Amino acid sequence: MDNRTKEHPTLQDIFVELASEDCSETLWYFLGNFLDNFYRCSTSQAERCRMVEDQPLFSDSISERDKAFIAGMAHKLCEDYHVRKPLWIFRDDFFSG
């Protein structure tokens, strides 16, 4: 990982790191840190786009509800910050039924 990735982790990065953790305890902590970075640390559209563009690689411990929430969160961030929406957020497996 380069220094820029460490400073501004992507959604995909946080789920790679979560794979080695107990997700039920740390999911919201990691998402909170991601949002903090997105809101205040990434000032360029290109950087914000990079942070959400790749589909997270979810472990089996992430619930369908949480997957839908994360896709919805990415969609909302893109809307609010005028960032190009990544195609992965529109996949059927990210909708809670």
- pLDDT, residue 4, reads 43
Q: Of 79, 34, 82, 83, which is closest to residue 56 (Cα–Cα)?
A: 34
- CB count, 10 Å around CB of 38? 23
Q: From its phi and psi, is residue 82 left (phi > 0), alpha (psi between -120 and 50) or beta?
A: left
Q: Model confidence over 38-97: pLDDT tens digits?
A: 988 666 888 899 999 999 988 887 888 888 999 999 999 999 999 999 999 999 888 866
Each domain of the chain, given as residue ranges in start order, spans: 3-94
pTM: 0.81
Binned at pLDDT 50, 70 and 90, residue 21 comes out as low
Determine how many CB atoms are found less than 10 A away from the CB of residue 70. 21
